[in-house]
Amino acid sequence: MNRNEIKVCIIRTAGTNCDAETKRACQNSGMNAEIVHINELAKNNTLLDYDLLVIPGGFSHGDYVRAGAIWAKQILAKLGRDIEKFANEERPILGICNGFQVLIEAGLLPKFNGIAPFPEAALGTNFPIGYNCRWTYLRHENKGTCVFISKIPPSRVVQIPVAHSEGRFIFKKENENEYLEKLKGNDQLVFRYCHENGKYAAGGFPENPNGSLHDIAGICDPTGTIFGLMPHPERAYFGWQLPTWTSCERMPLFGDGKIIFDSIAEYILGKI
Amino acid sequence: MTLPAPDAMSDTISKIELIDATDKILKQISEELHIGLNAEEMRAVQKYFTKKGRNPTDVELQTLGQTWSEHCFHKTFKGDVITEKGKIQSLFKTYIESVTKELKKPWCISVFEDNAGIIQLNNDYAIAAKVETHNHPSAIEPFGGAATGVGGAIRDILGVWADPIACTNVLGFGPLDTSYAELPSGIKHPKYLLRGVVAGIGCYGNNMGIPTVNGAIIFDKSYVGNVVVYCGCIGLLPIKKFAKDAKAKDIILLVGGRTGRDGIHGVTFASAELTEKSEEVSRPAVQIANPIEEEKLKRAIIEVRDKELASGITDLGGGGLSSAAGEMAHRFVCGVNLHLENVPLKTSSLAPWEIYISESQERMLLLIPKENLRKALVIFRKEDVEATPIGELTDDKILTVFHKDSIVAKLDMDFLFSPPKTERSAKWAPLILMDPFLTEPREFNSIILEMLALPNISSRENVVCTYDYEVKGNTVLKPLFGRIGGPSDAAVIKPLDESWKGITISCGINPSYGKIDPYWMAASAIDEAIRNNTATGGRRIALLDNFVWGNPEKPSNLGSLVKACQACNVVARGFETPFISGKDSLYNESPLGSVTPTLLVTAVGIIPDIRKTVSLDLKTPGNPIYLLGKTFRELGGSEYYRKKGFVGSSVPKVRVKKAKNTVDTLIKAQDKGLVRACHDLSEGGLGVAAAEMAISGNYGITLNLKDILRTKDVDRNDFALFSESNSRFLVEVPEILNSEFESTMKNVPCAHVGEVIEESCLVVYGFNGNKIIDVRNQELVKAWKSFLGKE
């Protein structure tokens, strides 16, 4: 099987707005991606025709109530059984920004013991408060579980931008420590906000742009096949997208975001 | 069809006794209905209905009030202006449109005709551009006012079948330290307005997923009473898909949000002065924004476009249905039948005239040939967007509006679109101003830091980062660029995956100069917009003009407007940059008086290969720094004078022949790869520009003032550092290529004035060779980020 036989579903609903560039990223990594409205997906129940599901960024249904909450319920209501099957077969699911918020709200992350009936974590209002669009440094924290970053060397620092107002990863205070230990124990930590030199942000702004617990920028489920992150890898795919590319003698061809899409393509090829 | 007898008419409409009314009564009627028509216009209406032998309905009068408003019809720019030097027939035709006509650029596809200006990008694609103002709504309700301002600009782009790909905004507020005691009642504090407006702009662009990539914020005392909010949008469309061929019998399809009581009399409100009462009287004039609705609307409209199902389109903005339906029919030389009872409503209690003029957001009108209607409806249903046929075009050139079974309006299109020509007198009296006598400062370290911390110079990071400037993943040059994030001169967008061609977007605005001379204010705005664009590699530039002025019925305001228009004509022609779209917002008055005459010039250029984009951050220690352009003793309206509490008189001028030569040659140098970094000199002059280049690259820079090309009277270090002469650039050149750069520049005022240095600090040597500035970058950054940082 070649990469171009990998079928990617980029799902959208009202308010999704990063679908086009996410599709472009998947295709530039050789995969065969299409953008499908959730209504179409539900009507023709075709979700299981795909090898990869990507929930892209945006403001699904205006992000009223809580960011991602409405779309999460919509997905469970319209695609519940298919999503469960998709996940149980360890077909990879990627949630970017609003997609990460959806995965949390849908109980698909952190998914300590199976799909949770209610959110086990939350992506709270940024601290400092407000929408924030800026480039961040992320440190690769995973020890091999997450299939989306297999091609990134351990503890390597990557540069990818964030843009959100609700990205502060938190647990309920009473089980904060327990759950954080679980994340570490299950090797579910994937990216943590850090300085250019790899030193953890330790909650400091702007390196940690939203006040996330433990500088968490992205996590995966215990199987490593469901991955959610606040930063936008599709916005760091090409060299000309980078914030300082003009200072390079020659323009770099690609940015760090590309490795994520390449890794997932490799995983799917290996799996099938 | 004749109007049915009154008893047959729906009780929700009323007829107005107009035929026998005296001028006094006419005035009353105009005021009571809030239609803002003056005596002469009311008499014209009376004459029309007397000829028809019947009284008008409220719907008819409201329609005329909307269509004839300054906001919709631009009476001042289209009307006659009487000056000491004689009569000017239409400022627009005489000074703005004439430039475009004379230049005859083949790449101008549609200008001043549709909702937005359209220019060529390549053989298959075109760029659409539009900038609007939303001042009055934002003064009443900053969040909603600004958000719907963005929404309106975006719909104008959709209104020419283009896919919106970037937003811009330029904002003007009163000083943030204005004391509450100074505020007249009904006027909101600049801090409150700033927060609300910025949040509103971010909300709309971010939610719709359109990057906000370029803009400016200006603080000026004259904006205390009348906030200034410019919203712009750039779009992309396949040239072949530009459908504009409607005919009689085509269906009028109303798509998008429902119609409610929000945004009643928006345009008459926009065409009146703000008063203490505006808050209560005009609150309903401010619409409510729902960006997600417009997001869905956008997707559906683009699909209708690509499937070529429509024959025409326009957005519902000022005047709502009443102006959109009329203008659309007028555009295709048709008449129109409309059925208001079919319009989906937010609340059933709306009277026909309210339905007809409501400015509820996220609505557009499409013209669909009968045979395509079903296909079109399917597309809107798929996106969960309401789409309702509400009428059709007719061949009788009559506007007929039905409600239930009765006719509520019946007007001849020709009458509706030929209001009495306004004639206004203009008088420009030059102000008696002079430059202040200031002693030359001894030490400049603290002064450069104070300059960087000034409201109009300091970092906008805390505002810019609340806008998503990355969404769509096509932003090549971002508003903040370099290792520390300095202020880019322009934004560069890469709109097509299959091409390296880019769009460069920049702006120019400086109201301080308008306090001295509106002519040079306008000239400088054009020069600044163009040099910002050129600095990054943009060429083949098209301009958009947006005037924000005081009440044109005051001869002095109109006098300054004439001066500004004359400058636009001369300077744009000199640069060979056509105007492709524009808008005027007059009546910017408050209890504190008129706003400073303010012209925003937006420049849209192209760059053949975005890999050649030039950013402002310093790149390599050891590289020489050149200053292009000559420095004159022009500190009138400068930030340096303002800091000391003066305006001055020596306003920066534009020597357009030389200026054009400079920008053209700079582009040549960029294409030869001779330019590593480039930044234009504007507010704060040479000193601030050098500091900003150092900040962004986090390298150091040295300057020798004695080496800069200047007139004799630039005989002091502070003049050399802070003069704001136009048409100047600082350029970093690769060390090994400096001789080639110099020979390329042989016909341009160009001087080698300094170097990039490893140690990150700003070092300036004065005329006598002494070091007058030596400040580390951390201090520069701290000062530069201090102002809005506090907010």
DSSP bridge pairs for B130: B233
**Cβ of B384 under 8 Å from any chain A Cβ?**
yes
Query: B460: which strand partners?
Result: none
Chain A nearest-CA distance from B62, in A, is 35
Mean pLDDT taken over chain B:
93
Q: Which residue of A has its CA nearest to B384?
A: A14
B478 in reach of chain A (CB within 8 A): yes
Q: Provide the CB-side half-sphere exposure for A191 (13 A, CA).
A: 32
Q: Give Cα B685 distance to the centre of its chain.
A: 24
In chain A, residues with a C-beta closer than 8 Å to the C-beta of B207 are: 15, 17, 59, 62
Contact A246 B208 (CB under 8 A): no
Q: Do B465 and A240 touch (CB under 8 A)?
A: no
Residues of A in contact with B673 (CB under 8 A): none
**Cβ atoms of residues B325 and B252 within 8 Å:** yes
Which residues are registered as beta bridge partners of B255?
B364, B387
| pLDDT above 50 (res B721) | yes
Dihedral angle computed from the Cα positions of residues A73, A74, A77 and A78, in that order, rounded to the nearest 10 degrees: -160
**Interchain proximity B497–A24, CB inside 8 Å:** yes
User: Quick check: B4 pLDDT over 60?
Assistant: no
pLDDT at residue B2, as a whole number: 42
Q: Give me the pLDDT at residue B270, please.
A: 67
Q: What is the 3-state secondary structure (H, E, C) of B576-604?
A: CCCEEEEEEECCCEECCEECCCEEEEEEE
Contacts of A134 in chain B (CB under 8 A): 465
* Contact residues on chain A for B485, CB-CB shorter than 8 A: 243
What would the pLDDT profile of A3-44 be if each residue is shown by its tens digit?
999 999 999 999 999 999 999 999 999 999 999 999 999 999
What is the percent of chain B with per-residue pLDDT over 70, rounded to a whole number?
Answer: 96
Residues belonging to chain A with any Cβ–Cβ distance to chain B shorter than 8 Å: 14-15, 17-18, 20-21, 24-25, 37, 39-40, 57-59, 61-62, 130-134, 161, 163, 232, 234-235, 237, 240-241, 243-244, 246-247, 251
Question: What is the C-alpha to C-alpha distance for residues A148 and A266, in angstroms, rounded to an integer?
Answer: 9
Q: How far is CA A192 from CA A145, B557, B694, in A?
A: 16, 58, 31
Smallest CA–CA distance from A24 into chain B, residue: B497
What is the average per-residue pLDDT within B79-86?
A: 93
| Average pLDDT of span B551-572 | 96
Which residues in chain B are contacts of A23 at CB distance < 8 A? none
pLDDT at residue number B283: 66
Three-class secondary structure of residue A161 per DSSP: strand
Which of B534, B486, B472, B469 shows the shortest CA–CA distance to B506?
B534
Q: Does B165 touch chain A (CB under 8 A)?
A: no
Give the model's pLDDT for residue A110: 97
Contact assessment for residue B699 and residue B776, using Cβ atoms and an 8 Å cutoff? no
HSE-CB for B463 with a 13 A CA cutoff: 26
Q: Which helix (H) or strand (E) holds A270?
A: helix A257-271
DSSP B485-546: TEE-SSEEE---TT---EEEEEEE--HHHHTT-HHHHHHHHHHHHHHHHHHHT-EEEEEEEE
Rounded to a whole number of angstroms, the distance from the CA of B466 to the nearest CA of chain A is 5
Q: Which of B471, B504, B695 to mutate to test the interface with A (most CBs of A within 10 A)?
A: B471
CB contact under 8 A, B697 and A247: yes
Verify whether the Cβ–Cβ distance B292 to A61 is below 8 Å: yes
Q: How many domains does chain A have?
A: 1
- pLDDT at position A272 is 65
Q: What is the pLDDT of residue A200?
A: 98
Indicate the SS3 state at residue B381: helix
Task: Please indicate whether, in this complex, the C-beta atoms of A246 and B468 are within 8 angstroms of each other.
Answer: no
Q: Determine, for residues A247 and B494 on separate chains, whether the beta-carbon distance falls below 8 Å.
A: no
| Residue B293: pLDDT band with limits 50, 70, 90 | very high
Rounded to the nearest angstrom, the minimum Cα separation between A97 and chain B is 12
The catalytic residues of A are 97, 232, 234
pLDDT at B14: 77
Catalytic residue among B74, B134, B136, B679: B134
The two three-digit tokens of residue B417, written as one number:
């679109």
Q: What are phi and psi of B673, to 5 degrees?
A: 75, 30
Whether B737 has its CB under 8 Å from any CB of chain A: the answer is no
Chain B (707-736) residues lying within 8 Å, Cβ to Cβ, of chain A: none
The verdict on B290 touching A (C-beta cutoff 8 Å) is: yes
Instruction: Out of A34-38, A64-68, B68-72, B326-330, give the one with best mean pLDDT.
Output: A34-38
pLDDT in tens, B132-183: 999 999 998 999 999 999 999 999 999 999 999 999 999 999 999 999 998 9
**What CATH number should be reported for the domain holding residue A226?**
3.40.50.880
CB contact under 8 Å between A235 and B619, yes or no, is no
Q: From B620, which residue of chain A is nearest by alpha-carbon distance?
A: A247
- The whole-angstrom separation of Cα A212 and Cα A196 is 18
pLDDT single digits (tens) B683-709? 999 999 999 999 999 899 999 999 999
**Is B134 among the residues known to form the active site?**
yes
Rounded to whole angstroms, the Cα distance separating B679 from B700 reads 15
Longest CA–CA span in chain A (Å) reads 52
Average pLDDT over residues B434-442: 94
Query: Per the CB < 8 Å rule, is A17 touching B610?
Result: no
B34-63: per-residue pLDDT in tens?
A: 888 999 999 999 999 999 999 999 999 999
Whether B790 shows a pLDDT value over 80: the answer reads no
Distance CA A10, CA B99 (A): 48
For residue A10, which residues of chain B lie inside 8 Å, CB to CB? none
pLDDT for B636: 97
> Taking CB atoms and an 8 Å limit, are A163 and B475 in contact across chains?
no
- Its domain, for residue A80, covers 3-271
Residues facing A140 on adjacent strands: A191
What pLDDT, on a 0 to 100 scale, did the predictor assign at position B6? 39
For residue A60, the chain B residue with the least C-alpha distance is: B292
Query: B506 near B533, Cβ under 8 Å?
Result: yes
pLDDT for B285 beyond 80:
no
Are A191 and A139 in contact, with CB atoms under 8 Å apart?
A: yes
Counting one residue from A and one from B, how many pairs have CB atoms under 8 Å apart?
Answer: 101
Residues in B touching A18 (Cβ below 8 Å):
209, 471, 473
Cβ separation B295–A15 shorter than 8 A: yes
Contacting residues for B28 by C-beta, under 8 A, at least 6 apart: none
- What is the rounded CA–CA span in Å between residue B470 and residue A243? 10
pLDDT at residue A271, as a whole number: 80
ipTM over 0.85: yes
Percentage of residues in chain A with pLDDT exceeding 70?
A: 100
Residue of B nearest to A39 (CA): B382
Q: What is the pLDDT of residues B202-243, one digit of tens each?
A: 999 999 999 999 999 999 999 999 999 999 999 999 999 998
Establish whether B71 is a catalytic residue. yes
Distance separating alpha carbons of residues B168 and B432, to the nearest angstrom: 36
Section B84-109 average pLDDT = 96
- At residue B789, the pLDDT reads 63
| B467 in Cβ contact with B202 (< 8 Å) | yes
- Taking contacts as CB-CB distances below 8 angstroms, the residues of chain A near B384 are 14, 39
Q: Look at residue B189 and tell me whether its pLDDT is greater than 70.
A: yes
Has residue B414 got a pLDDT over 80? yes
Residue numbers in B near A33 (CB within 8 A): none
CB contact under 8 A, B383 and A15: no
Chain A residues with CB under 8 Å of B481 CB are 243-244, 246
Report pLDDT digits (tens) over B633-658: 999 999 999 999 999 999 999 999 99
Q: CB of B471 within 8 Å of any CB in chain A? A: yes
A59 in Cβ contact with A192 (< 8 Å): no
pLDDT band at A249 (very low <50, low <70, confident <90, very high): confident
CA distance B462 to B789: 7
What local confidence, expressed as pLDDT, does residue B286 receive?
A: 75
